[in-house]
Amino acid sequence: MEYINNASTGAISSGSGAVNKILCCECGVPIEPNASNMCVPCLRSHVDITENIPKQAVIFFCRNCERYLNPPNEWVQCTLESKELLSLCLKRLQGLRQVKLVDAGFVWTEPHSKRIKVKLTVHGEVMSDVVLQQVFVVEFTVNNQMCDDCHRTEAKDFWRCMVQVRQKAVNRKTLFYLEQMILKHKAHENTLGIKPNTGGLDFFYATDAHARKMVDFMQAVLPVKVTNSKKLISHDIHSNSYNYKYSYAIDVVPVSKGSLVCLSKRLTQQLGHIAPVCLVSKVANSIHLIDPQTAQMAEVQNMAFWKSPFEAICNPKQMVEFVVMDVEIIRENQRKTFPGQGPVSHRHTLADVWVVKSSELGINENTIHVKSHLGNLLKPGDYVLGYDLREANVNNADYEKLNADTVPDVLLIKKSYDKTVRKQSRNWKLKHLNEDIVVDTDIENEYNEFLEDLEEDPELRQNVNIFKDKNKQQIPVDTNDMDDPSVPRITLEEMLDDLVLEDEEMGDAS
């Protein structure tokens, strides 16, 4: 302990500048004059400025969520020896208000000792303007206590609101896109749990506000239909309080990229007289359609779709592989236009394409003439995927009303590449909401199709976080395939480095 004298003692100094000493009133030791006329040991024995400050205290820690209790009922996330934890410990010491805190810091303890020691330096004023400085250590005992959120989880009563996301379709690539949008924008931060279910996912929340925030996010990124309900759990007649459980059912549009749809006559008129049989080129906050024969585009908004809903008449599983025999580009002045025609895609080029089924190559010499929007991608000898409407079993009321002469025999959808080589040379990966989901073969094939769509569409992967896959960095790439500049791939500039905490800890230790 030291003392700091702020008052003038009025002692007489000699001519050499030395201060005359006096005797301590308690022990008689010569000391410099001060207001109490006592030496430091005697003053320490009479006055303790830290007597009202407890030297031991208790803080509570939840082992499940690793949070500390900030009284009265707030649980905060703190790391060891952090500013947040130091502030939390100082709030537990009520006697600090009577002294002036000068310095505070942690004293090292074993991480698993359940003890936290804080070294404090305080100033206190005693006996007519005499300021004492004292350094002491406060030991905090960490007791385990389950927080309210974890207690409800263990009691199987942890959620107050559930959001059910479903897509009633054969192809579920739109759900994969929604999952990546949630991860990119961190819309699942307040989620208590995520459970995979048939045709979608279930999100659980503690409050209705958090669930409503997730619903609003999904309405902003995809065309969805929302229905809600609530169930009464308990009711207190004395305080007139009600306890409900809320449920939100979200239906995602039953189409995905690459699906072939048939529009009603009324909807085709509203969309600039687009052909009734058209292709879904993109599903974002609206459904983007394109006519493969004229490259005419249309956009179906959320409300317009649910007023006149349509389903896919053909899905990517029904695609047939064709071999391109000849390609002839259709010039701009040769295109047929009509008044009131909608916008035309400038990313695609119309062409007359002659194709033969891969399974009939060398057997059937009759080529099929197709008008396609893939003229800028195809050349003789390429493989292309498309729908053969002559052999398709379509069960759709709007499709049956169409004149058979106006329906094309074959529609080409996208260029085909070697799936095995593309999968082996793919040196990137995506993250998932639930890594423990076991997928079957059908879902795995749809997921691979979604990865191929990301490679082929730069606009689609702008909303997706793509990470480098370190496990596949050293896999040799087939040079014969990579020599083809038309093979779609994702560059290293578009990939993010995956955060691995173990690697960072090892680097800091070295």
pLDDT, tens digit, for every residue of 184-229?
Answer: 999 988 888 888 888 889 999 988 999 999 999 999 999 999 999 9
Tell whether 370 and 405 lie within a shared domain. yes
Dump pLDDT digits (tens) for 233-283. Answer: 888 888 888 888 899 999 999 999 999 999 999 999 888 889 999 999 999
Q: Is residue 510 part of a domain?
A: no
Crossing angle of helices 441-456 and 173-185, in 10° steps, is 60
Q: Which DSSP state fits 375?
A: T
**Three-state SS letters, 74-123:** EEECCCCCCHHHHHHHHHCCHHHHHCEEEEEEEECCCCCCCEEEEEEEEE
Closest residue by Cα to residue 188 from 156, 154, 219, 213: 213
Tell whether 271 and 396 lie within a shared domain. yes
The residues near 58 (Cβ < 8 Å, ≥ 6 apart) are 92, 140, 141, 142, 143
Tell whether 213 and 315 lie within a shared domain. no
Tell whether 269 and 339 lie within a shared domain. yes
CB 413 within 8 A of CB 258: yes
Q: How many CA atoms lie within 13 A of 214 on its CB side?
A: 31
185 three-class SS:
helix
Domain final residue pick, 416, 442, 471: 416
Tell whether 144 and 57 lie within a shared domain. yes
The residues near 406 (Cβ < 8 Å, ≥ 6 apart) are none
Tell whether 335 and 397 lie within a shared domain. yes
In the prediction, which pLDDT does 446 show? 87
In the prediction, which pLDDT does 116 show? 93
Tell whether 246 and 267 lie within a shared domain. no
How are beta strands 130-144 and 56-62 bridged, if at all?
Answer: parallel
Closest residue by Cα to residue 179 from 361, 447, 439: 447
Q: Is residue 477 part of a domain?
A: yes
Tell whether 474 and 424 lie within a shared domain. yes
CB 415 within 8 A of CB 453: no
- Ranges of the chain whose pLDDT falls below 70: 1-19, 127-130, 155-157, 333-334, 435-441, 473-486, 498-510
Q: Is residue 79 part of a domain?
A: yes
CB 313 within 8 A of CB 260: yes
Q: Which domain holds residue 429?
A: 420-494
Q: How many CA atoms lie within 13 A of 98 on its CB side?
A: 12
127 three-class SS:
coil
In the prediction, which pLDDT does 127 show? 66
Total tally of structural domains belonging to the chain: 4
Neighbour-count burial of 337, counting CB atoms closer than 10 A to its CB (0-12 exposed, 13-18 middle, 19+ buried): exposed
Closest residue by Cα to residue 21 from 30, 12, 34: 30
- Angstrom distances, CA of residue 459 to CA of 228, 229, 283, 453, 467: 33, 37, 12, 10, 17
Q: Is residue 372 part of a domain?
A: yes
Exposure string of 441-457, with b = 16+ CB inside 10 Å and e = fewer, is eeeeebbebbbbbbbbe
Beta carbons within 10 angstroms of residue 439's beta carbon = 12
Tell whether 363 and 469 lie within a shared domain. no
Domain final residue pick, 203, 234, 252: 252
Residues paired with 205 in a beta bridge = 161
Tell whether 230 and 298 lie within a shared domain. no
Closest residue by Cα to residue 90 from 105, 111, 108: 105
- Angstrom distances, CA of residue 168 to CA of 164, 199, 375, 389: 13, 7, 34, 23
Closest residue by Cα to residue 393 from 315, 328, 480: 315
Percentage helix, strand, coil, to 5, in the chain? 25, 35, 45
The residues near 385 (Cβ < 8 Å, ≥ 6 apart) are 319, 320, 321, 322, 412, 413, 414, 415, 416
User: Which residue type sits at 320?
Assistant: V
Rounded to 5 degrees, φ, ψ at 328 are: -135, 115
Tell whether 390 and 411 lie within a shared domain. yes
258 three-class SS:
coil
In the prediction, which pLDDT does 47 show? 77
In whole angstroms, what is the distance from residue 132 CA to residue 44 CA?
Answer: 9
Domain final residue pick, 148, 174, 201: 148
Rounded to 5 degrees, φ, ψ at 219 are: -65, -25
The residues near 344 (Cβ < 8 Å, ≥ 6 apart) are 294, 295, 296, 297
Q: Is residue 247 part of a domain?
A: yes
Closest residue by Cα to residue 64 from 217, 193, 163: 193
In whole angstroms, what is the distance from residue 66 CA to residue 63 CA?
Answer: 5
Cis peptide before 476 (omega within 30 of 0): no
Q: Is residue 40 part of a domain?
A: yes
Read off the pTM: 0.68
Q: Which DSSP state fits 474?
A: T
User: What is the length of the chain?
Assistant: 510
Helices (H) and strands (E) in the chain, counts: 12, 26
Q: Is residue 362 part of a domain?
A: yes
Q: Is residue 1 part of a domain?
A: no
Dump pLDDT digits (tens) for 101-139. Answer: 899 999 999 888 899 999 999 888 776 666 778 889 999
Rounded to 5 degrees, φ, ψ at 424 are: -70, -35
Tell whether 195 and 208 lie within a shared domain. yes
In the prediction, which pLDDT does 31 show? 82
The pair of structure tokens assigned to 228 is: 């809600």
